[in-house]
Amino acid sequence: MAFGELLEQIGGMGRFQLIHTMLLTIPILFMASHNLLQNFTGAIPGHRCQVHLAPNGSEYPNITLLQGAGQLLRVSIPLDNKQRLEKCRRFTDAQWYLLNASVPGANETATEPCAEGWFYDQTQFTSTIVSEVSGHPGGW
């Protein structure tokens, strides 16, 4: 007697086998979506040091001279070798001379690691593992 004949004799695929298969399939579907979730939540978004202003502007006395947030970033965060904002360093003191176009830019000024956390770009992802954990983004 072959296995196929034995299955026909005892009833083949019945209600029990169908329920058993469905109950095993449901957790597998959730597991697949959980594995794919890492592709989206594990992204490292663009980031830079957090720049804080005191409510009365006392931290930056020349704050009235600024015309936008870009200028605040320019005096607070150095540029890397590709002329983009440094991701993990900031100036120890605001470098107001950098706003003057006639003064050549210099990177001899003292910098420090980000002490107050990071600002994350949320244009592509609103929340990722990196932005939720307060550690350094490059440490992943």
Tally the domains of the chain.
2
Do 67 and 28 belong together in one domain?
no
Residues 20 and 62 in one domain: no
Reading the block at residue 35, the tokens are: 């594995």
Per-residue model confidence as pLDDT tens digits over 109-129: 788 898 888 888 888 888 888
Residue 103 lies in a domain: yes
Q: Is residue 88 part of a domain?
A: yes
> Do both 96 and 123 map to the same domain?
yes
Query: Is there a single domain that holds both residue 10 and residue 75?
Result: no
| One domain for residues 118 and 67 | yes
Report pLDDT for 55.
Answer: 47
Tell me: the pLDDT tens digits for 39-84?
777 788 888 888 865 544 555 555 555 556 777 888 888 888 998 8
Residue 95 CA: distances (Å) to CA of 65, 74, 77, 117, 135: 13, 8, 9, 20, 27
Q: Are 29 and 68 within one domain?
A: no
Contact 89, 78 (CB under 8 A): yes
- For 120, the domain range is 47-135
Structural domain contains residue 7 = yes
Evaluate whether residue 140 is within a structural domain: no
Q: Do 8 and 54 fall into the same domain?
A: no
Domain membership flag for residue 126: yes
